[in-house]
Structure 1
């Protein structure tokens, strides 16, 4: 329904709900490390981030906290890392990341910029003592100090890879 109206679908779910929803090809799923492990049956987030895409999701933003965010998208694979771990209350951190990703979709920002905002807001939510709040100073600082690194596509070179499908490398 959202896609028919041009609205991106962002999914933050776990277990059977996450697995079942992948068939609807959401634009992005946002599992944490535990939720991702439940889908892939393993604990390597870099290898695992490709699994929901292979199952139907158009993009995956995994949060192997406190290491930042790992994104597997049609435009590339990236890891966003804060310069140091943020200690505090993680309640609401995933919701903050999803909100920032939704903002990135609505403004059309490139994926690296979306990830900086999502990782910074998520960490700032951890730094705020009450759940549901964020520390604006931490957010501001992280916007300037977070690093985003492009990673090689984990399926590059395989015939079923999104990067090689339909090219001479896949024939």
Structure 2
């Protein structure tokens, strides 16, 4: 049951743990962990650890890009990449041990030429012809250079197949692509606020924003709310998902674990409530691991069982 993850702006993710992080001072990390990252590759690793066959479609460049391809391969993931001239970016997350707060520094990534965009689309078409995928995800920021016309072509292709397609990106251009009808768009509250141009504080505001995304064409909007769980808005119904209380060690990558849980739910053809239960459990389990793209598998079954789901009548 293969999963295809599309990661247009991958990165070498570097998590540095410090005893105490102070601005305007020298900070020394006592632990540094590097992973083949970008949100799509985090999704890929979690799905692979759950036993799925996973392909990762990426732009990769330079020594850092080669390192990512090697790491993915060693993890049992099949990288399918288009080479770009610039090095793949590095993203740094500093975890302060005092309160487990996270400070991130994200490089923008390479500029992608029209030729490179066309080559990636060709590789996508080859994959879709040669494999039968059970789910497709597109995660993370969009690199510089991608044209609106190319993105429209990409979404048109991905939504033309009878395959669940999950979108998780903060780029506002995705709003103009929802008419292609992706299966799920997964914003967090901050992304919703940015897209809607207004503060969103009340639950009903989130629901109305989710309905707006559905009116634009998304079949479902799944809003991640951190420790408050999820809201899943569909035209037919709304689900409020509550997660168990835990003592998180890092929230970096929790949203990617959530997407992986959604994908696995679709792959296994679960009903919506169970898809959301799995997704919320995966997202919570990820907060118990220091490494992005990894979940605490030992606690996962218990966490999934503790997720509660309430169906809300449409407003």
Query: Shorter-normalised TM-score: what interval?
Result: 0.7 to 0.9
Q: Per-residue deviation at 1:27?
A: 1.0
Corresponding residue for residue 190 of structure 2: 34
Q: TM-score, normalised by structure 2?
A: 0.46
Corresponding residue for residue 138 of structure 2: none
Give the number of the structure whose residues are more often helix, by fraction.
1
8 Å Cα contact 2:214-2:235 kept in structure 1: no
Q: Per-residue deviation at 1:108?
A: 1.7
Corresponding residue for residue 304 of structure 2: 143
Aligned structure 1 segments of 4 or more residues deviating by more than 6 angstroms: none
Corresponding residue for residue 51 of structure 1: 212
Aligned-partner SS, 1:127: coil
8 Å Cα contact 2:211-2:235 kept in structure 1: no
Aligned-partner SS, 1:57: coil
Moved more, 106-115 or 79-88: 79-88
Corresponding residue for residue 172 of structure 2: 16
Give distance in 1, aligned partners of 2:208 and 2:159: 28
Aligned-partner SS, 1:34: helix
Aligned counterpart for 1:129 among listed residues 259, 273, 290? 290
After superposition, what is the alpha-carbon deviation per residue over 1:75-111, rounded to whole angstroms, capped at 9, x for unaligned? 4210111132552312111111111111222222111
Structural mapping, 1:90-109, within 5 Å: 90-109=251-270
Q: Per-residue deviation at 1:2?
A: 2.7
Give distance in 1, aligned partners of 2:299 and 2:283: 10
Corresponding residue for residue 274 of structure 2: 113
Q: TM-score, normalised by structure 1?
A: 0.82
- The number of aligned residues is 154
Q: Per-residue deviation at 1:144?
A: 1.3
After superposition, what is the alpha-carbon deviation per residue over 1:7-58, rounded to whole angstroms, capped at 9, x for unaligned? 1221001132332222322111000111112222331323322121112111
Aligned-partner SS, 2:232: strand
Point out where structure 2 has 5 or more consecutive residues left out of the alignment. 1-156
Give distance in 2, aligned partners of 1:91 and 1:73: 27
> Cα RMSD over matched residues?
1.7
Point out where structure 1 has 5 or more consecutive residues left out of the alignment. 155-171
Give distance in 1, aligned partners of 2:247 and 2:227: 7
Determine if the alignment matches structure 1 residue 66 to structure 2 residue 223.
Answer: no
